[in-house]
């Protein structure tokens, strides 16, 4: 159980331990109702959530991003409208560096000359005068990370952003980037059933004083216990392309989720709350950002900070979802470098 605030890296920015990922309000997981999405953000604020995550690419059409006609920048605009009048109660994080290609896919752009332009556009869409945490969405391998991070650091000096972060990079890039400027947060996938970061990435974050921000901490809703063997995902649902959700893999993974559901039921909690509590019990500075577009789930996720887990409970859950038992990798061939 953890109620204390989490400080982002070496900054003076602190957040509640559980935030809200807004991506699904614009694409990836089927249609979303904008009014309900705004209501979800408001419900999250009322429940005490103050850490909100978006990206300039959320809403852009493309096979690698989940089909959408909402447009580049849609999610930032939506979040900006929702928090208007609430700026002093929220910490806003957004990302840049992934944009649609002419072929309908995604290109990664970390050129120093693009950094300031992308930030200025995000500020306009969000309707704010500064961004609290500004991430590079994916490392552009054609550009040295030192060059991109150097340009991001200039945004801090200019007062456009308060802190900078990276997404989905390994220890080598973290060390190289940190030698240029303080990296306050790393965002990557981490959950009971996606634990690749445990071996090298999380220890590197600890060494460098970087807060870890898990995306998809509920296994893209699977760990919330809402799916059955009869569940299918349509073509506009990103999960239809992911290995963990494919046929036999999905069936095997659902059996693990049944164990989580039974554990949670014995203690009177929702499965997703237990999955989040397991993350918060890890010995690192962690601030998960579960996504939802439903007010009731935002409130439920916020309450996960009050779920008590003993050391034995944590060990039991870790064993239940031993990586050797989880079927399917993180991404499939269609989304080898996705932009979440």
Q: Which residues are catalytic?
A: 58
Asked whether the beta carbons of 161 and 184 are under 8 A apart, the reply is no
Q: What does DSSP assign to residue 52?
A: E
Q: How far apart are CA 223 and CA 231, in angstroms?
A: 14
Distances (CA, A) of 301 to 20, 40, 42, 217: 9, 12, 14, 11
Q: How far apart are CA 19 and CA 288, in angstroms?
A: 6
Q: What does DSSP assign to residue 239?
A: G
Q: How far apart are CA 275 and CA 238, in angstroms?
A: 21
Asked whether the beta carbons of 244 and 325 are under 8 A apart, the reply is no
In sequence order, the β-bridge partners of residue 213 are: 187
Cβ-based burial of 7 (10 A; exposed 0-12, middle 13-18, buried ≥19) = middle
Q: How far apart are CA 102 and CA 226, in angstroms?
A: 37
- Beta carbons within 10 angstroms of residue 268's beta carbon: 8
Helix runs in 139-212, H state only? 145-157, 171-178, 201-208
**Six token digits for residue 119:** 């930030």
């Amino acid at each position: 159980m953890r109620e204390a605030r989490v400080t982002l890296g070496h900054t003076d920015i602190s957040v509640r331990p559980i935030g809200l990922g807004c991506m699904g309000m614009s694409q990836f997981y089927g249609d979303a109702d904008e009014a309900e999405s705004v209501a979800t953000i408001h419900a999250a604020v009322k429940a005490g959530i103050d850490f909100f995550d978006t990206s300039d690419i959320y809403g852009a059409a493309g096979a690698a991003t989940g089909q959408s006609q909402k447009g580049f920048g849609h999610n930032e605009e939506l979040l900006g409208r929702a928090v208007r009048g609430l700026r002093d109660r929220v910490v806003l994080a957004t990302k840049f560096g992934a944009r649609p290609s002419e072929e309908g896919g995604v290109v990664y752009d970390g050129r120093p000359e693009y950094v300031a332009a992308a930030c200025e556009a995000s500020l306009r869409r969000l309707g704010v005068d500064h961004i609290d945490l500004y991430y590079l969405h994916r490392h552009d391998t054609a550009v040295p990370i030192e060059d991109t991070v150097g340009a991001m650091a200039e945004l801090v000096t200019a007062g456009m952003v308060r802190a900078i972060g990276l997404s989905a990079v390994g220890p080598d890039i973290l060390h190289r980037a940190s030698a240029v400027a303080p990296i306050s947060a790393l965002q990557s996938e981490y959950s009971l059933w996606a634990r690749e970061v445990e071996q090298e990435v999380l220890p590197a974050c600890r060494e460098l004083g970087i807060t870890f921000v898990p995306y998809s901490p509920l296994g893209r809703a699977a760990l919330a216990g809402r799916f059955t063997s009869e569940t299918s995902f349509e073509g506009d649902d990103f999960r239809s392309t992911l290995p963990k959700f494919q046929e036999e893999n999905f069936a095997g993974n659902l059996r693990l989720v049944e164990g989580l559901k039974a554990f949670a039921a014995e203690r009177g909690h929702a499965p997703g709350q237990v999955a989040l509590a397991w993350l918060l019990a890890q010995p690192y500075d962690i601030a998960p950002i579960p996504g939802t577009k439903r007010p009731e789930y935002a409130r439920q996720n916020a309450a996960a900070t009050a779920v008590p887990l003993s050391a034995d409970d944590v060990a039991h859950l870790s064993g239940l979802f031993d990586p050797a038992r989880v079927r399917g990798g993180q991404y499939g061939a269609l989304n080898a470098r996705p932009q979440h």
